[in-house]
Amino acid sequence: MVPLSWYLILSAVLFCLGAAAFLIKRNIITIFMAIELMLNGVNLSFVAFAAHLHKLSGHVFVFFVMVVAAAEAAVGLAIIIAVFRSRETLNVDRVNLLKL
């Protein structure tokens, strides 16, 4: 039986990797993937706790997160395509038309 703390540590590592990638990377698709990574890191701790406590609510939360993430991915990718068509770049630092 793998102890709970291992799951939690893995979850934290995944979340931190996602956060770090979000902060460091400039490619918008990578940033998008980093967000997914953070979400899934959290999902992992949800299911770990759910299994540990024998409660279903953790699983339900995970499904919600997955559904919302899927919807968000659809909208986000559409935006990315639109941005790429007009700006011809995926670098977020160059998508700065609204800045002073």
Partner 1 sequence: MNPTLHLWVIPLLPLMGAAINGLFGRRFRNSMVSSIALLFTGASFAWALWAALQWVHQPARYVEILGDWIWAGDFHAPFGFYLDHLSMVMMLVVTGVGFLIHIYSAGYMAHEGGYYRFFTYLNLFMFFMLTLVLANNYLLMFVGWEGVGLASYLLIGFYFLKDSAANAGKKAFIVNRIGDFAFLLGMFLIIQHFGSLNFDDVFNSVSKMSPETGWGLLTAIALLLMFGATGKSAQVPLYVWLPDAMEGPTPVSALIHAATMVTAGIYMIARSSAIFSLAPHALEVVAVIGCLTAIFAATMGLAQTDIKRVLAYSTVSQLGYMFMACGVAAYSAAIFHLMTHAFFKALLFLGAGSVIHAIGGEQDMRRMGGLRKLIPVTFWVVTIATFAIAGFPPLAGFFSKDEILWRALQAEHGGWILWTVGIITAGLTSFYMFRLWFMTFFGELRLGKVNHGHDAHAAASHSHGHAADHGHGHGGVHESPCIMLGPLVILAVLSVVGGWVGRPQAMGGSNIFETFLASAIYAPAETAAERGSELVFAAISVGVALLGFLLAYWLYYLQPELPSRITARIRGLYTLVLNKYYVDELYGRFFVKPLLSLSTVVLWHGVDQHMIDGTVNGAGSASKGIGNQLRRIQSGNIRSYAAWVAIGGAAVITYMAWAMFK
List residues binding partner 1 (CB under 8 A). Answer: 19, 22-24, 92-93, 96, 99-100
Q: How far is the CB of 26 from partner 1 (least distance, A)?
A: 8
Contacts of 16 (CB under 8 A, 6+ apart): 41
Amino acid at 12: A
Neighbour tally for 44: CB within 10 Å: 19
Residue 53 CB, nearest approach to partner 1 (Å): 20
Query: Cβ closer to partner 1: 21 or 59?
Result: 21
Residue closer to partner 1 by CB (options 15, 46) is 15
Distance of alpha carbon 51 from alpha carbon 39, whole angstroms: 19
